[in-house]
Structure 1
Amino acid sequence: MSNDPSQDFAITYPVESSLFITAPPGYGKTYVMIKRIEYLILRGCIKPPQKLLALTFSNAAADEMKKRLRINIPYGEKYVDIMNFHTFAYKLLRCYGNYIGISRFFTILDENKKIEYKNNYYRAYIRSSSSKWEREADFVSEYNTWYNKKFLQGTDYIDVENEMTFENLRSSMNEDLINKENLDFDHLLFKAIDLLQQNEYVKNLFLNKYPILLADEFQDTNYIQYKLFKEIGIDSNGTKKVVYVMGDKKQAIMRFQGANPDNIAFLIQDFNCEIYQLNKNHRADSEHILHITKKLRDPSFFVSEAKNEIYIHNTVEEEMKRIIEIILRLLQNGVNLHNICILFPQKRTSNCIKKVFKKNSIEYVDISDFKMGSITEEYSALIEGIRNQIEEKCVKKSVRRIIDELIDENYSGESKNTILLTTIRKFSSSFDRGHYSSIEVWKRLQEFYNCIQMEIDWVQLVKSNVRNKVYLSTIHGSKGLEFDYIFMVGIVNFKMPHSTLCFPCSDFRNPKQVEISESKDLFYVGVSRAIKEIIFFYS
């Protein structure tokens, strides 16, 4: 791939100045980031033991950057550390957590355990004393909303009626988990910030180690991630590091998890960043995909002729029948199933698709099954077994042996030879070699357990290994992926895209009554996954 002029400008931007780059999907974001790292290394801007620090929002982005760096600069890892925000916080606390009373040998708590804790708290303290919440799910949902607004988005939000109840749950959970040497993913960030704020020695170590900071997907960062970024980017005297950051507010679809795309504006102001935008799509292979993505970014962009396929049906059954017909047609034309992805805005849509695919003998893989929450639920026996072995401080010979025994005990036949379990087996062996070999087995097992939650990008792993199956995914789950053919299902009025996006339809409804920006961003991210063709379905 040769650089386009906008990429050249971004890659060779003056080293001493901070830059924020708007990087639309398919415009070569990862390519430019790696080329920038290569440019800084070859220019001699980094002298070991100093390093560049490149922070990402997801494991997928970090893994892709590492892979490309190894190809472009085989010795590059001597000059740069690439990781997501949580991994950075984890490594910081593993080394220096004892400075603020955190055991170095903490275990990361998975999301299902957090849900279990909240449910137990409801049963113990809420159900008998309050008639406001008749169901655990209602209580937990309201608590999560409160927590996201107050701590992840960093707002001044106060739930006047329930503030004390929710704060008691939060304090109780934090204290109990830390006493049991457990931290959840948010704890990692909060405690890393506490460490850097309370210990000048540790903070100076990192300020000196990383003279230049790079980051991507900044629209997906939340309040505490940006706060951590500032802690390692600005010293106690207010001196700011040079930063090189990428993001795109048009791809801000993680607000429901507490993401705050306004962090981009805060970054530009706090670090005196110049602003630049990449301007050529290197992914889309068809003119009509280029047109629709341009139109979604810029409503004034004129499209002379609409060329997108939209199938409208009276029933879901008719819609599914048409999807099958098109897939079979593509197969006859030599298209592999793994080059097709069906996207939908809501997870429950997949149930109908799966039934029809099974009936028609079409193989599929559901990407959402490979999110960590789904994994810990599907393989709860294995996860619980690992946690028990850690708590009991097991003394068996190796991590691999423990994992093999747990899998053999809990699974049989084909169910113990899935891609996921095979990967876990192989990954466990690496914790019996090298510097791990001198560490007690339970500590190695704990490190392994923490790493399978933080380090492995399961979705990309599946994408690399699964062939001849149609991919199913929510639009949120497809972020960072690309496919030749995208089928977008469930394009229903008032859901996605919202009716107010279609100006001829908006006469009967006041657009100001509904916040539609995130629905529009979600639609845009889904469309931009396509390389050759996108087809819309409605029933």
Structure 2
Amino acid sequence: MRAPVLDSPAEGLDDEQLAAVTAPRGPVCVLAGAGTGKTRTITRRIGHLVRSGHVAPGQVLAVTFTARAAGEMRTRLRTLGVAGVQARTFHAAALRQLRYFWPRVVGGDQWQLLDGKLKVVGQAAARLKAGTDAASLRDFAGEIEWAKASLVTPEQYPATVAKLRRDIPGPAEQVAAVYAGYEALKNRAEMLDFDDLLLHTAGALEENTVVAEEFHERYRCFVVDEYQDVTPLQQRVLDAWVGERDDLTVVGDANQTIYTFAGASPRYLLEFPRRFPEAVVVRLQRDYRSTPQVVAAANTLIGSARGRVAGSRLQLIGQLPPGPDPDFTEHDDEPAEAAAVATRIKRLVADGTPASEIAVLFRINAQSEVYEQALTEVGVPYQVRGGERFFARPEVRRAMSVLRMAGNPSAPLVEAVRAALAPVGLTPDPPGGAVQRAQWESLLAIVELAEELLAVEPEADMVRFAAELETRADAAHPPTVQGVTLASLHAAKGLEWDVVFLVGLVDGTLPIQHAEGDDEAIEEERRLLYVGITRARRQVMLSWALSRQPGGARRRRRSRFLYGLIPEHHSASRVASGSGGRGGSKPRCRVCGSPLIGIDAMKFRRCADCPADVDVELLDRLKEWRSSEAREQQVPAFVVFTDTTLVAIAEQRPSDRASLVAIPGIGARKLDRYGHAVLALVADGDLLDS
């Protein structure tokens, strides 16, 4: 059955959407907030340009980032009666073009496309005696992809990552050598990877005038969706496509830039009006997805953003009828938080909300296990999106095998579990590299399950714990059905549900611990939460727990991003705001007594305008100690503590572990590792002053 064709591409548009659709042919920048109808707007613009005779359908190239989004674009264009438009991903478009131009540009047989780069990366790593386990290879492959997307050569890699302070999976020179070896092996075998498609396409258009003229004659109009996510390599290809012309429409939202770790950069979106001074800039701010209450929470969160991206913030305007206020809940521990969420979900399903219209979103995949277990216990079906179920992950299966074979060591359970998992990747500190860190987090989650079991069964031993893991694994494998979605915040991008639970909102998790000391990284963590909130159509629930396991020390602090979000009258605004996350009033300046606003104010426990009382001699001692620690660990100094954290210590001069851990940037692991040394330095200063 054919889809109905609209009478006019302008039908049913609001004023801002209409302005974007009917803008004159030429450069157009559409700043489209979450839920504002960006896909409708850009497809209608293409339809308008075609119907008004400005361009033929076959002369339009529209690119986006996923095959699903490209397919949706093609479907909508068919509904508009516009057939023949090329709507593809960057890589699909480049592959099509490269195959066509290959005989003239390269000659001979076309090089084959690699199905995956891990095998070749493994060969390069083996020759260098670098890590060849699956996690290391995936991290090496990820770094190679980032480098090529960022137009960084193997020779440039060490200096570039040092300048960016990038978290990398090994010594920079080693990663660069694996990268160079991979490129040499691949080229010798006459193979291309996906990034080569873009590099060779750009090169063909840049270096071959005849090819460029033929391409520019074929394609006259370009549309780019999700423009905030383009990489330097994709921008280079786009520049080659467009050439000296300006018939380009870009659509994006800098507030949803959450992939900079993969090379994405919002600067091309932000600088578009400067590059094209005559560009039409349209802001889409009417949100048709979410209730005004959800929209208000999103606006409040992003309204506190800082840095360059914040300068383009869009103030969403909710268009739907009112709904429930956002819900904020604090819990004693993670299992209690998960149980409460599962109970709430069961009630929602019983009241008529389809399970498929509910999502539980978290920062890291390792957080899924406790929610898988809790939903299983209350009989609510679920599906894990963007990752395997916890007990299906290779590192978890491997860990369970190791624990089964461990017998019953004489050491206490938690200590024995840590020792058993050390050979399979459980190091004292998280490793570099996204894949290795994700696996490390899964292993740490197993240790936390041991701590949880001990809280309930103090006499539990290794055999009992291994049996507990088997029981959980068996119970957490319900049949594959449509159910509640469990997903990371990254995996949730582009999706939406009626009800969204945002869980585990504590400092150290969101923002993630390794973002500390990097203002841009902290702001990207804020944008992750913004993306999470804007996934909700009707209601958003936000929760956090003060400790990992039952009976644990309640040292966690709710995420700094929640300050200002929780209404003053809400019960959650009066908890977790004091030292160690315990009760008390909203944090106030220790100098003037005013409520504290902003990350730096929370860290220093004083307003930005209030006078500082830094102990300069103590600060010098702290910096000297930090340098020594960094040299010993062979890491940059900021990995130990950032300058801001050292200044906060030198101002507040904590006298015990509780007051030290109350300083943002000092989590439980850093407290255990450095707490004694830092407190000793503070105490030495106090003795000198007396």
| TM-score, scaled to structure 1 | 0.70
Match of 1:177 among 186, 204, 212: 186
Q: Which amino acid aligns with 2:89?
A: N
| Residue 348 of structure 2: aligned partner | 330
- 1:85 shift after superposition: 0.5
Q: Deviations over 1:66-93 (max 9, x none)?
A: 11112221xx122x11111011111112
- 1:220 shift after superposition: 0.7
- 1:473 shift after superposition: 1.2
Structure 1 residue runs without a partner (length 5+): 128-132, 378-465, 502-509
Alignment of 1:92-171 (within 5 A): 92-101=97-106, 106-110=111-115, 113-127=116-130, 141=139, 144-145=142-143, 148=146, 150-154=147-151, 158-159=157-158, 165-171=174-180
Query: Whole-Å Cα distance in 2 between the matches of residues 146 and 106 of structure 1?
Result: 20
| Residue 54 of structure 1: aligned partner | 62
Query: Whole-Å Cα distance in 2 between the matches of residues 345 and 53 of structure 1?
Result: 35
**2:377 is aligned with 1:359:** yes
Match of 2:503 among 480, 489, 495: 489
Q: Which amino acid aligns with 2:528?
A: L
Question: Do the aligned partners of 1:498 and 1:520 also contact (CA within 8 Å) in 2?
Answer: no
Distance verdict in 2 for CA 1:108–1:312, change over 3 Å: farther
Alignment of 1:75-474 (within 5 A): 76-78=82-84, 80-101=85-106, 106-110=111-115, 113-127=116-130, 141=139, 144-145=142-143, 148=146, 150-154=147-151, 158-159=157-158, 165-234=174-243, 239-272=244-277, 273-284=279-290, 286-299=291-304, 307-369=325-387, 468-474=482-488
Query: Whole-Å Cα distance in 1 between the matches of residues 96 and 507 of structure 2?
Result: 46
Query: Whole-Å Cα distance in 2 between the matches of residues 363 and 66 of structure 1?
Result: 33
Question: Do the aligned partners of 1:484 and 1:531 also contact (CA within 8 Å) in 2?
Answer: yes
| Residue 397 of structure 1: aligned partner | none
- 1:168 shift after superposition: 4.3
Q: Which has the larger radius of gyration?
A: 2
Distance verdict in 2 for CA 1:276–1:147, change over 3 Å: same
Query: Whole-Å Cα distance in 2 between the matches of residues 35 and 175 of structure 1?
Result: 46
Q: Which amino acid aligns with 1:357?
A: L
Structure 2 residue runs without a partner (length 5+): 1-10, 163-170, 306-314, 318-322, 396-479, 546-690
Question: Do the aligned partners of 2:295 and 2:316 also contact (CA within 8 Å) in 1?
Answer: no
- 1:325 shift after superposition: 0.9
Question: Do the aligned partners of 1:347 and 1:474 also contact (CA within 8 Å) in 2?
Answer: yes
- 1:202 shift after superposition: 1.9
| Residue 45 of structure 1: aligned partner | 54
Query: Whole-Å Cα distance in 2 between the matches of residues 88 and 172 of structure 1?
Result: 28
Question: Do the aligned partners of 1:341 and 1:471 also contact (CA within 8 Å) in 2?
Answer: yes
| Residue 26 of structure 1: aligned partner | 35
- 1:347 shift after superposition: 1.2
Query: Whole-Å Cα distance in 2 between the matches of residues 4 and 494 of structure 1?
Result: 42
Distance verdict in 2 for CA 1:297–1:56, change over 3 Å: same
- 1:147 shift after superposition: 6.2
Query: Whole-Å Cα distance in 1 between the matches of residues 245 and 261 of structure 2?
Result: 31
SS at match of 1:342: strand
- 1:467 shift after superposition: 6.4
Q: Which amino acid aligns with 1:65?
A: M
**2:28 is aligned with 1:13:** no
SS at match of 2:158: coil
Query: Whole-Å Cα distance in 1 between the matches of residues 142 and 523 of structure 2?
Result: 22
Question: Do the aligned partners of 1:219 and 1:264 also contact (CA within 8 Å) in 2?
Answer: yes
Distance verdict in 2 for CA 1:266–1:227, change over 3 Å: farther
Q: Which amino acid aligns with 1:159?
A: P
Query: Whole-Å Cα distance in 2 between the matches of residues 86 and 102 of structure 1?
Result: 21
Q: Which amino acid aligns with 2:76?
A: R
Query: Whole-Å Cα distance in 1 between the matches of residues 298 and 216 of structure 2?
Result: 40
Q: Which amino acid aligns with 1:71?
A: T
Question: Do the aligned partners of 1:222 and 1:259 also contact (CA within 8 Å) in 2?
Answer: yes
Q: Deviations over 1:132-163 (max 9, x none)?
A: x7988568747854762x43234695415967
Distance verdict in 2 for CA 1:473–1:514, change over 3 Å: same
SS at match of 1:476: coil
Query: Whole-Å Cα distance in 2 between the matches of residues 52 and 58 of structure 1?
Result: 18
Q: Which amino acid aligns with 2:23?
A: Y
| TM-score, scaled to structure 2 | 0.56
- 1:124 shift after superposition: 2.3
Question: Do the aligned partners of 2:148 and 2:195 also contact (CA within 8 Å) in 1?
Answer: no
Query: Whole-Å Cα distance in 1 between the matches of residues 316 and 73 of structure 2?
Result: 36
- 1:516 shift after superposition: 1.4
Query: Whole-Å Cα distance in 2 between the matches of residues 168 and 494 of structure 1?
Result: 33
Question: Do the aligned partners of 1:103 and 1:181 also contact (CA within 8 Å) in 2?
Answer: no
SS at match of 1:348: helix
- 1:2 shift after superposition: 2.4
Q: Which amino acid aligns with 1:207?
A: H
Q: Which amino acid aligns with 2:499?
A: Y
- 1:267 shift after superposition: 3.8
- 1:180 shift after superposition: 3.5
Question: Do the aligned partners of 1:94 and 1:104 also contact (CA within 8 Å) in 2?
Answer: no
Query: Whole-Å Cα distance in 1 between the matches of residues 37 and 110 of structure 2?
Result: 39
Question: Do the aligned partners of 1:337 and 1:467 also contact (CA within 8 Å) in 2?
Answer: no
Q: Which amino acid aligns with 2:296?
A: H
Query: Whole-Å Cα distance in 1 between the matches of residues 518 and 179 of structure 2?
Result: 35
Q: Which amino acid aligns with 2:345?
A: I
Query: Whole-Å Cα distance in 1 between the matches of residues 526 and 298 of structure 2?
Result: 11
SS at match of 2:282: strand
Query: Whole-Å Cα distance in 2 between the matches of residues 276 and 64 of structure 1?
Result: 23
Query: Whole-Å Cα distance in 2 between the matches of residues 470 and 140 of structure 1?
Result: 29
Query: Whole-Å Cα distance in 1 between the matches of residues 251 and 219 of structure 2?
Result: 18
Question: Do the aligned partners of 1:65 and 1:82 also contact (CA within 8 Å) in 2?
Answer: yes
Q: Deviations over 1:281-329 (max 9, x none)?
A: 0111x221011122234349899x9932112111111111111111111
**Overall identity of the aligned pairs, in %:** 24
Query: Whole-Å Cα distance in 1 between the matches of residues 212 and 353 of structure 2?
Result: 53
Q: Deviations over 1:20-44 (max 9, x none)?
A: 1111110000010111011111101
Query: Whole-Å Cα distance in 2 between the matches of residues 189 and 370 of structure 1?
Result: 30
SS at match of 1:314: strand
Query: Whole-Å Cα distance in 1 between the matches of residues 493 and 289 of structure 2?
Result: 14
Query: Whole-Å Cα distance in 2 between the matches of residues 191 and 302 of structure 1?
Result: 40
| Residue 3 of structure 1: aligned partner | 13
Distance verdict in 2 for CA 1:103–1:29, change over 3 Å: farther
Question: Do the aligned partners of 2:224 and 2:249 also contact (CA within 8 Å) in 1?
Answer: yes
| Residue 393 of structure 1: aligned partner | none
Query: Whole-Å Cα distance in 2 between the matches of residues 134 and 68 of structure 1?
Result: 45
